[in-house]
Amino acid sequence: MLNILKTLVLTLYLIGLFGTSAGFAQTWNRANNPWNLAKYLTTYFDRLPLSAQIENQKLAWPANHWAHFEGGITYRWTAANSEMFNYSSPNLAKLKMMTQEQRDRLSPAEKYSILIRDYNYTLVKKIWNNISEDDPNWNGICHGVAPASVHYEEPQTVKYTNPDGVTLTFYSSDIKGLLSYYYAEVLRPNARFIGLRCESNDFEFDVNKRCGDVHPASFHILLTNFIGLRRKPLIADIDQFTEVWNHVIVSYESYIVDEYPISENSAPHTQKRIRVQTSVRYASAITRQKMPVIGTEQAYYLDRSYDYYLDLDRQGRIVGGEWISQLRPDFVWDQPKGSLYGSWYHLLKVYKPIK
């Protein structure tokens, strides 16, 4: 769920820089240039693994997207009555009179405030000022969940006592939510994107409205370089419709279906066109959990299949391609790891990765 403002800024930036020309058959355009995302990419098809998975299995954890209409990370998700908006957060005196069970039912945003001894709950108020119960159910912080899960191994559940003597249990999902909020709303955005967001819910693509989505050749190059050669996860909006669902791809498997004659849509310098079917597996959105989920039945991963042509030149390098399947990724992106700064540095007091 890309924040609407960030999406608008990104869209205007890309339109201004690259224009709206398509080029989705044949070679990629500038908005789809895979080198915009990473340097030193291999494009020789035969050198790119047909299947691979990420090396660090503690990353790319399935997690909740903390929907805005539920209050985001101000949601008291373990409370019996699921308190979302406009509750009263306890002051220090009341906190000390509460039972441990009552304190543990507070929201991640409240627990963070208590961690840093902010009993005015500035973060809670800030979030409530920016979200609403009327927001669409897909609006949330999956654009923070994805990079947080790429850079931080899944967190354990931990207990912490602040200098005022208030003990809290930070559940695994509490810490996931806080890390995700930091990447979504606090860290200066420095993500790199390939492809353009589509604003249509129709399979009838209009490339003039930028619904050609990420170029298949760029997608294949990045998928096989990131996961295949570097064994690192890759983030994608996995389908092309209006709603944005950012997921982390953890593995893929490709099959060469057949070789075909060069067509009028083949890229310049094409000597061979092959049809490739690729299935990707990605970390799913799940309900919030008190304990880590990797290695348990609560860790859900889903599969998505894509079908496309790749154009190869005389040396066997990927120079272009064309989508066959109607279902396709909207955009692919990556975000470097950002340091926890300011008061957010205190998150390291409660972040402990799984063993």
- DSSP state string for 164-231: TS-EEEE-HHHHHHHHHHIIIIISPP--EEEE------SSS--GGGT-S-S-HHHHHHHHIIIIIIS-
Tens-place pLDDT, residues 218-266 = 999 999 999 999 999 999 988 766 677 899 999 999 999 999 989 898 9
Q: What is the pLDDT of residue 15?
A: 32
| Nearest Cα residue to 53 out of 176, 234, 193, 295 | 234
Q: What is the pLDDT of residue 227?
A: 98
Give the HSE-up count for residue 140: Cα atoms under 13 Å, Cβ half-sphere.
Answer: 23
Backbone Cα Rg of the chain: 22
Q: What is the pLDDT of residue 245?
A: 84
Residues in the chain, pLDDT under 70: 1-26, 197-212, 240-242
Contact present, 153 and 353 (Cβ < 8 Å)? yes
Q: What is the pLDDT of residue 244?
A: 72
Give the pairing of strands 331-334 and 234-237: antiparallel
Domain count across the chain: 1
Measured over the CA atoms of residue 69, residue 190, residue 186 and residue 355, the dihedral's sign is positive
- DSSP state string for 279-342: EEEEEPB----SS--TTSTT--EEEEEEEEEEEE-TTSBEEEEEE-SS---SEEEE-------G
CA pair distance 36, 273, nearest whole angstrom: 25
Contact present, 340 and 65 (Cβ < 8 Å)? no
Q: What is the pLDDT of residue 10?
A: 42
Q: What are phi and psi of 138, to 5 degrees?
A: -90, -10
At 23, list the tokens: 């080029």
CA pair distance 164, 250, nearest whole angstrom: 42
Q: What is the pLDDT of residue 138?
A: 85
Q: What is the pLDDT of residue 212?
A: 57
CA pair distance 87, 9, nearest whole angstrom: 33
Longest alpha-carbon distance in the chain: 77
| Nearest Cα residue to 272 out of 308, 311, 307 | 311
Q: Which domain holds residue 296?
A: 1-355
Residue length of the chain = 355
Q: What is the pLDDT of residue 94?
A: 98
CA pair distance 144, 237, nearest whole angstrom: 13
